[in-house]
């Protein structure tokens, strides 16, 4: 049977190797029945790869994939208990905080009521810019976490990219503490930088409704830093493209925007990566002279980002006396940063109505799934699709 696992690894591009397969088998064992999406969240392996592994293991009748989820056949369970030593059914997670550090109590109800309609009307995501929409709960818990760390009060706070509207949650944070009083801006100032004017216009309009001051600046981080933005801010919050180049550029610009003092806060949301890729990320942080104080796995929940299992980690970073930017403020950055540029995939989507398969990606009729949905299935006119395969466009 272990020869079969070697063959499986030859068929699937799995950076985590045999340990990745073991983790998939372990989480199926501990949950009894589990969806592929939840498996991806728990193992931090992209959904299409988990789905492919599960399908192969199902063909071998080790697992059974049904509409209710993925389960073991009885002989499959006995096999993994014997070969891997699996035992028990895991630990119960806290149902109130969902294993996060911020518990949302009933006193948050009013801010939920305010934010829910705002978040429902956010601009559609532009996938070529790696945009995604986090949940209202995530935005509120982010704001609570920033506050808990002392990063907001009396500080000049900057959001580098805010397609998920976390700045609005921070702007309305006083509603959590004093729901019946006038909204008070807890930071000294709030600034939002984004390449997308749709995002900025919407954020500006929402802040105006509540009479809260905010500065919105349209700026492409690949361009040199405007002098008026240099070394202005105390706290920076960013959710960059999930590529090495994107990480290096966004954090370099954050350092250029940050006051030249140690112990300043940067909150970084980033995708979960394999151990090898995580090591590269840590190397970039070391080059930048940034200290990692805390890592919160699966803190951020997103409405989209199916490939990432809808969850990413939140890192609390601090500047140090050795902090320095890799990309200099006066430097024009020409290296690709968005994942569609660094990893241009062709994705095969199947229409759930007529079962026809449509290719989506660079140089195709539909470059993104949003464009496909906007135009509907060219064969039957329906707008529901499921991802069945993705292939790297450039080998």
Could you read off the pLDDT of 354-369 as tens digits, one per residue?
Answer: 888 888 776 677 766 6
Contact assessment for residue 271 and residue 242, using Cβ atoms and an 8 Å cutoff: yes
- Between β-strands 265-270 and 357-360, what pairing exists: parallel, antiparallel or unpaired? unpaired
pLDDT (mean) for 83-100: 78
> CATH 2.20.28 spans which residues of the chain?
344-392
pLDDT at 363: 65
Among positive and negative, which fits the CA dihedral 360, 363, 364, 370?
A: positive
Whether residue 267 contacts residue 151, with contact meaning beta carbons closer than 8 Å, is answered with yes
Confidence (pLDDT) at 281: 95
304 vs 73, higher pLDDT: 73
Mean pLDDT of 211-221: 97
Let me know how many helices (H) and strands (E) the chain has, helices first.
14, 12
Q: How confident is the model at residue 146 (pLDDT cuts 50, 70, 90)?
A: very high
* Residues 6 or more apart whose Cβ sits within 8 Å of residue 361: 344, 345, 346, 347, 367, 393
* 80 CB neighbour count, 10 Å cutoff: 18
> Residue 342: pLDDT band by 50, 70, 90 thresholds?
low
CATH 1.10.10.10 residue spans of the chain: 2-84
Structure confidence at residue 394 (pLDDT):
45
Would you say residue 307 has pLDDT above 60? no
- What pLDDT score was predicted for residue 183? 92
Structure tokens at 84: 């891997």
Domain 106-319 homologous superfamily, CATH: Vaccinia Virus protein VP39 (3.40.50.150)
**CA neighbor of 369 nearest in space, from 355, 379, 358, 354:** 358
Q: Would you state the structure tokens that stand for residue 276, as one six-digit string?
A: 């090898």
CATH 3.40.50.150 residue ranges in the chain?
Answer: 106-319
- CATH 3.40.50.2000 correct for 2-84: no
Which residue do the tokens 């989209």 mark? 304
Task: Determine the Cα–Cα distance for residues 145 and 134; give it in Å rounded to an integer.
Answer: 15
Mean pLDDT, residues 341-357 taken together: 77
CA distance 193 to 181: 29
Give the lowest-confidence range in 81-90, 179-188, 258-267, 322-331: 81-90
Q: What angle do CA 373, 375, 377 make, to 5 degrees?
A: 70
Q: Which CATH architecture has domain 344-392?
A: Single Sheet (2.20)
Q: What is the pLDDT of residue 335?
A: 92
pLDDT digits (tens, 9 = 90+) for 12-67: 888 888 888 998 999 999 999 999 988 988 887 888 899 999 999 999 899 999 98
Average pLDDT estimate for 286-293: 97
* Average pLDDT of the residues in 213-236: 97
Tell me the DSSP string of 313-367. EEEEEEE-TT---SS-TTPPP-S--SHHHHS-EEEEEEETTT--EEEESTTSSBS
Radius of gyration of the chain (CA): 22
pTM over cut 0.75: yes
Q: Given CA atoms 100, 235, 128, 391 in this order, what sign does their dihedral have?
A: negative
For residue 130, the model assigns a pLDDT of 72
pLDDT at 112 over 80: yes
Task: Report the range out of 86-95, 310-319, 343-352 with the highest average pLDDT.
Answer: 310-319
Q: What is the mean pLDDT of residues 336-357?
A: 77
pLDDT at 343: 61
């Amino acid at each position: 049977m272990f020869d079969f696992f070697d063959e499986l690894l030859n068929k699937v591009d799995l950076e985590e190797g045999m340990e990745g397969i073991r983790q998939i088998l372990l989480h199926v064992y501990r949950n009894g029945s589990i969806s592929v999406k939840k498996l991806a969240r728990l193992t931090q392996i992209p959904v299409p790869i988990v789905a492919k592994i599960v399908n192969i293991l199902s063909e071998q009748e080790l697992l059974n994939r049904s509409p209710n989820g993925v389960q073991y056949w009885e002989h499959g369970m006995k096999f993994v208990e014997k070969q891997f030593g699996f035992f028990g059914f895991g630990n119960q997670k806290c149902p109130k905080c969902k294993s996060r550090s911020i518990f949302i109590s009933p006193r948050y109800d009013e801010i939920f009521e305010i934010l829910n309609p705002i978040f429902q009307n956010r601009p559609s995501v532009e996938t070529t810019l790696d945009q995604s929409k986090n949940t209202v709960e995530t935005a509120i818990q982010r704001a609570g976490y920033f506050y808990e760390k002392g990063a907001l009060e009396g500080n000049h706070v900057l959001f580098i990219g805010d397609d998920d509207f976390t700045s609005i949650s921070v702007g309305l944070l006083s509603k959590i503490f004093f729901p019946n009083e006038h909204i008070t801006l807890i930071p000294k100032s709030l600034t939002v930088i984004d390449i997308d004017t749709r995002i900025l216009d919407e954020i500006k309009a929402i802040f105006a409704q509540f009479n809260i001051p905010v500065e919105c600046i349209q700026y492409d981080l690949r361009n040199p830093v405007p002098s008026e933005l240099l070394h202005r801010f105390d706290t920076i919050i960013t959710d960059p493209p999930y590529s090495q180049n994107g990480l290096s550029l966004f954090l370099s610009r954050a350092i250029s925007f940050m006051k030249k003092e140690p112990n300043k806060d940067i909150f970084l949301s980033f995708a979960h990566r394999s151990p090898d890729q995580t090591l590269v990320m840590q190397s970039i942080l070391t080059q930048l002279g940034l200290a990692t104080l805390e890592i919160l796995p699966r803190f951020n929940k997103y409405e989209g980002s199916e490939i990432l299992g809808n969850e990413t980690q939140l890192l609390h970073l601090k500047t140090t006396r050795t902090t320095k930017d890799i990309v200099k403020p006066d430097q024009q950055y020409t290296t690709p940063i968005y994942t569609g540029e660094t990893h241009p995939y062709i994705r095969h989507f199947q229409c759930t109505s007529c079962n026809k398969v449509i290719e989506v990606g660079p140089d195709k009729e539909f470059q993104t799934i949003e464009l496909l949905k906007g135009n509907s299935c060219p064969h039957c006119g329906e707008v529901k699709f499921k991802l069945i395969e993705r292939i790297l466009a450039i080998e």
